[in-house]
Amino acid sequence: MKLTAIAALSLSALVSNAHALYSAGSPVVLITPKNFKREITETEHLVALEFYVPWCGYCQRLAPDWDKAAANLNGLVKVAAVNCDVEANKPMCSYFDVQGFPTIKVFPPELMEDKKNPGVFIKKPSDYQGPREAKPIVDYLLSMMPSNVRFVKSIITGKASQKTVSIDDFLATENATLPKTLLFTNKPTTPVLYKALSVDFNNRMLLGEVRNTELAVVDQFGVKAFPTVVVIPAGGEGVVYDGQIKQAELRKFLEGFAKAAKKKEEPKEEPKEEPKEEPKKVEFDPTITEITSQSALTTHCLSLPGLCVLTILPTLHPDDPLTAAAHATTFPLLTSLKRRAFDLGPGQSPFRFLWIDASRADKIISKFDIPADFPAMVIVHPGKKMYRPFIGAWEEQGVQKWLEDIKGGRIGSWKFEGEMEVVEVEEKVEEKKGRDEL
């Protein structure tokens, strides 16, 4: 078969599924235009945002690992997702130049001035290109975590980083108003829990870290064991934390000493929708719609989302019993396939089953390079301009497996240009008249 173009896309990109991949109870934060500013722009935490569409096979495979990563990073890194199949979200996905799914972008805590819009500050994300599994995702995001922790020493000698301070300078920082916390530790790296708390309490409490090798500071606070957390209230004496060093417990303890948090503007409550009536039960309609004109093609295929499964049947001819046989065997097959799709439930199948007489399908046959061996079948996503002709034995089991492979994203697809066209009846009459005049 001659192919017009080969796209490196999966036919999973053709399958439309109305259901999101993450439930309301998921640890993944669901992003919309209404909460983007609050959840991403205004937070000081690192944010990993997945751009996905629910019909994408790769997105479906990532979802359990993304959920697991979100649970493991709870309170440390915000793990979020946006459904780019939702109409209201599409401008957001376009703004961040999302070219494929899933795309993972990591938003830093810092705001930067937008060069295109002076005076406007935005966050510039980077793309995550690593393995799409929970552990490497978690490891990468933990390595990118921001930290406001100061490294506290007894004295500073030689060059030191901007985050390294002497104990005297640490305690003198806004001494009258800003409470401090010191973590005395024998670990070589700052715990991620402590990094997260330093972000949570930014501008409300100064967090410092003292290594066990800083003996003068250790002796100054009478520390005997590691780890030990000491809170120094503004202008007061140190208070030793004697609870378990776990995120929730330690945060609650520090909250009792920290400066009051600034109140954030509460989002306006959206008007509640009136309770909807239960939808009426839809009965199965066995009719396979015939495409007899361009307007019928537009109404039943081109103007609708999802996939058109278009079967081309030979024109019935009284002198050719094979044409009648093709019709007699094909309609039960199509009705059975339609019934299987219907039984999956509302919104679960992307397929619409249609048929067209070969005499009206000349332009479709030519566009998709379909062999004139009828019955023939082609599946088309008019919105994405992609198609796939059926190749194989004309029997229900083979066609059903082909449809399942398409829905599961296990078959390649091709791109087409221009529009699908039906040969109108009048057009055929004019052509015949022209031949008679010759």
Residue 273 belongs to a domain: no
What phi and psi values does residue 39 have, to the nearest 5 degrees? Answer: -85, -25
Please indicate, yes or no, whether residues 113 and 192 belong to a single structural domain of this protein.
no
CATH number at residue 110: 3.40.30.10
What is the residue-wise DSSP string for 355-389? EEEGGG-HHHHHHTT--S-SSEEEEEETTTTEEEE
SS3 state at 28: coil
Our measurement of the distance from residue 252's CA atom to the centroid of its chain's CA atoms, rounded to an integer in Å, reads 33
CA distance 296 to 49: 42
Please indicate, yes or no, whether residues 298 and 229 belong to a single structural domain of this protein.
no
pLDDT of residue 362: 92
Of 233, 256, 279, the one marking the end of a domain is 256
Residue 428 belongs to a domain: no
- Give the pair of three-digit tokens for residue 342: 């219907």
pLDDT of residue 436: 41
Residue 95 belongs to a domain: yes
Closest CA to 414 of 385, 436, 377, 375: 385
Please indicate, yes or no, whether residues 191 and 97 belong to a single structural domain of this protein.
no
CA distance 375 to 361: 12
Task: Name the DSSP class of 160.
Answer: -
* Stated pTM of the model: 0.56
pLDDT of residue 240: 96
Task: Name the DSSP class of 108.
Answer: -
- What's the number of domains the chain is made of? 3
In this structure, the dihedral spanned by the alpha carbons of residues 137, 143, 146 and 149, taken in order and rounded to 10 degrees, is 140
Residue 423 belongs to a domain: no
With b for 16 or more beta-carbon neighbours within 10 A and e for fewer, the 400-421 pattern comes to eebbeebbebebebbebeeebb
Q: 57-72 and 134-143 are packed helices; what angle lies between their axes, rounded to 10 degrees?
A: 50
CA distance 208 to 232: 11
Closest CA to 305 of 347, 356, 338, 368: 347
Residue 21 belongs to a domain: no
Please indicate, yes or no, whether residues 249 and 311 belong to a single structural domain of this protein.
no
- Give the pair of three-digit tokens for residue 385: 């301009």
Residue 12 belongs to a domain: no
What phi and psi values does residue 357 have, to the nearest 5 degrees? Answer: -70, 140
Please indicate, yes or no, whether residues 113 and 203 belong to a single structural domain of this protein.
no
Please indicate, yes or no, whether residues 55 and 74 belong to a single structural domain of this protein.
yes
pLDDT of residue 425: 61
Residues 6+ apart with CB under 8 A from 107: 40, 46, 47, 48, 49, 123, 125
Along the chain (438 residues), what's the average pLDDT of each consecutive run of 10 residues? 36 43 91 94 95 92 96 95 93 91 94 80 92 96 95 86 90 88 96 94 95 96 96 90 92 94 60 52 86 92 89 89 89 92 79 93 91 90 90 88 84 88 65 41
pLDDT of residue 433: 44
Residue 281 belongs to a domain: no
Of 144, 176, 203, the one marking the end of a domain is 144
Torsional sign, CA 352, 356, 358, 359: negative
Closest CA to 47 of 25, 70, 64: 70
Closest CA to 66 of 8, 125, 128, 111: 128
Residue 268 belongs to a domain: no
Closest CA to 208 of 222, 197, 219: 197
Please indicate, yes or no, whether residues 298 and 410 belong to a single structural domain of this protein.
yes
pLDDT of residue 17: 39
Please indicate, yes or no, whether residues 33 and 134 belong to a single structural domain of this protein.
yes
Please indicate, yes or no, whether residues 232 and 293 belong to a single structural domain of this protein.
no
What phi and psi values does residue 391 have, to the nearest 5 degrees? Answer: -130, 120
Structural domain including 225 reads 150-256
Please indicate, yes or no, whether residues 113 and 67 belong to a single structural domain of this protein.
yes
Please indicate, yes or no, whether residues 314 and 401 belong to a single structural domain of this protein.
yes
SS3 state at 287: coil
Please indicate, yes or no, whether residues 138 and 154 belong to a single structural domain of this protein.
no
Judge whether 207 and 201 are in contact, CB under 8 Å: yes
